[in-house]
Homo-oligomer: A and B are copies of this chain.
Amino acid sequence: MDQRTAGSEEWRALAQQLRADSIRSSTGAGSGHPTSSMSAADLMSVLMSKYLRYDFDEPENPGNDHLIFSKGHASPLLYSMYKAAGAITDEELMTFREFGSRLQGHPTPVLPWVDVATGSLGQGLPIGIGVALAGKYLDEEPYRVWVLCGDSEMAEGSMWEAFQHASFYKLDNLVAILDMNRLGQTRETMDGWNGDHYASRARAFGWHAIEVDGHDPEAIDNAYSEALGNDGPTLIVAKTKKGYGVSFLEDVDGMHGKPVTPDREEAALEELGGTNDLRVDVHKPDGTASTGGGSTGEADLPTWELGDEEATRGAYGAALKAVGGARDDVVALDGEVSNSTHSQEFAEEYPERYFEMFIAEQQMVAAAVGMSVRRYVPFASSFAAFFSRAYDFIRMAAISGADLRLSGSHAGVSIGEDGPSQMALEDIAMMRAVHGSTVLQPSDANQTAKLVAQMADTSGISFMRTLRPKTPVIYSAEEDFPIGGSKTIASSDDDEVTIIGSGITVHEAIKAADALAGENISVRIVDCYSIKPIDAAGIQAAVRATGNRVVVAEDHWPEGGVGEAVLSALAEDGGEPVEFRHLAVTKMPGSGKSEELLSSHGIDAEHIARAVRELVG
């Protein structure tokens, strides 16, 4: 189809093909969401025929628009579009949902034209904000971000975080298309076909909103045209029918996520005018723009003198600023606590690369994912406890293969007076259980700086847990701390027990060792700064060398943290019995001074020393 001369007849024919292919692929698979695809077919037909600028032969072309299916379950529609664009064959289309196929149940970047995995509702739009932020403020490229949204997902709060941020940042390169088909999985949505509800909300959030009949190609054309002329983000509220085009599917309840059964497939296709093989030459972007960012120098990291007192969160901020100075593809985001996490130091030096995400952790992580789509190197920070707010986004980011760096401050009971709501005590477990993640917890400032520098080059999702209180600098600025390593602080042939600490408990372990030395008990201290990957060989060697006796102390719940990571590491070489003592937080903390809490939760020097005495006694 030549899109320059195409009109509503051609658009309608293409839409019917997209519907037919959505049915064919999902009936072939025996599962999938054809009706949720059919409602949006006209919207996508017009978009790909006239508005989308995308080079399917060069998905990395930085001038390409970005099309995100926030309603990822409409994957049959997306894949049918790829067929119509000539990106995949009909044969591949029919592999939908098969083992080994790129055409998974929900889109993932296994396909080169998919930016991010969707399928957990309410994520595509916030991620689109990140891509649009990059387009407007970093790339300064004219690409547009189109996000197809479902009406059920408008119940997700993350969508409204996106509405706020898109408006605040005046994202005129963003168009959200709401496929208002009325029906959710089991029932009507809260707002049904009340398009004015969505439109008035969008306007109240500072967006331009257009209501349109989502099955009228000319009206859709006009809406897109209008959307492009705004000085801010636009929401197109399209009234549609689920299963549109087939009488026995159209606006019928109970058909969500159900393919047409093979015996009814022919009848359905007949109503759609049969199968077809229309081909759309999607507009390619004008010219080839430059890729964003890219200079990668060696960071001039800050250093501290032995014995200095500095919080690792402070060192994080200073190191992030240094890394930002060496690489102009590094960007920072924060959840409006930048003077606590210390990302403020970066923000003050590089305001054009700092994005304030306010108290909206889901949007913060989503924006970082969107920026990683554009090959930036995002560092996002908040209190470690509050990353639990964005866990679904982090989980999905791993499926997207995104490269994110997260920094969570205020680890554990050591934060003191603020109380348990501000204490991260589950973050290590949470972050270890992310596919391909890296989990770090430095204990001093120089170590922090070295690890921050490495995070910039680390793929996947890396997480650094930092401390609120100041801790003494125990390592010289010359030492190296490779990710996956550990540091043995004290060691002799007489060591009877290995003490493994991480973060604050490293300092408690050192104090315990001093006390024990006075009792002629020699211990080995291992600083487990890299919790995942963990230095399994180093830990095995230390424990084996100290009579297979080990004490692990951590400022975290007992489950899924350093202790269990150590047990997994020790289980790898098996064969030798280990006497294991695990000191972790086991009761609900309250407020108090850092020392009081470390003591009352049994993870301070005194308790570590006591555990050692029990093991050797």
Contacts and interface: CB of A to CB of B under 8 A. Distances in A.
A610 interface: no
Contacts of A575: 577, 579
A291 to B, nearest CB: 26
Given A420-B117, A567-B568, A358 B189 contact: yes
Given A339-B186, A389-B392, A420-B399, A429 B590 contact: no
B419 A105 contact: yes
A398 B385 CA distance: 13
Given A99-B593, A161-B157, A433-B429, A336 B187 contact: yes
B363 A157 contact: yes
Interface string A23-51: 00000011110000000000000000000
A540 interface: no
A187 B119 CA distance: 35
A118 B121 CA distance: 26
A571 B560 contact: no
Number of identical protomers:
2
A340 interface: yes
A222 interface: no
Contacts of A560: 429, 432-433, 559-560, 564
A535 to B, nearest CB: 16
Interface stretch (A198-206, A280-288, A370-378): A198-206
B422 A105 contact: yes
Interface stretch (A148-156, A318-326, A442-450): A148-156
A276 interface: no
Contacts of A591: 97-99, 101, 103-105
A579 B596 CA distance: 40
A72 interface: yes
Interface string A335-352: 011111000100000000
Nearest to A119: B421
Contacts of A359: 121-122, 152-153, 155-156, 184
A120 interface: yes
Contacts of A432: 429, 559-560
Contacts of A391: 388-389, 391-392, 430
16 contacts: A106-B419, A119-B418, A121-B359, A122-B157, A152-B336, A153-B359, A185-B340, A187-B336, A189-B358, A203-B204, A361-B392, A388-B395, A399-B421, A426-B433, A429-B430, A532-B559
Given A358-B190, A417-B105, A157 B155 contact: no
A97 B589 CA distance: 12
Interface of A: 29-32, 72, 97-101, 103-106, 108, 110, 117-122, 152-153, 155-161, 164-165, 168, 184-187, 189-190, 197, 200-201, 203-206, 336-340, 344, 356, 358-363, 385-386, 388-389, 391-392, 395-396, 398-399, 416-422, 425-426, 429-430, 432-436, 532, 557-561, 563-565, 567-568, 571, 574-580, 582, 588, 590-593, 596-597, 600
A115 to B, nearest CB: 14
Nearest to A121: B359
Nearest to A344: B186
Nearest to A585: B435
Contacts of A104: 419-420, 590-591
A261 to B, nearest CB: 16
A286 to B, nearest CB: 34
A579 B588 contact: no
B559 A433 contact: yes
Closest 4 CB pairs of A and B: A157-B157, A119-B421, A99-B592, A560-B560
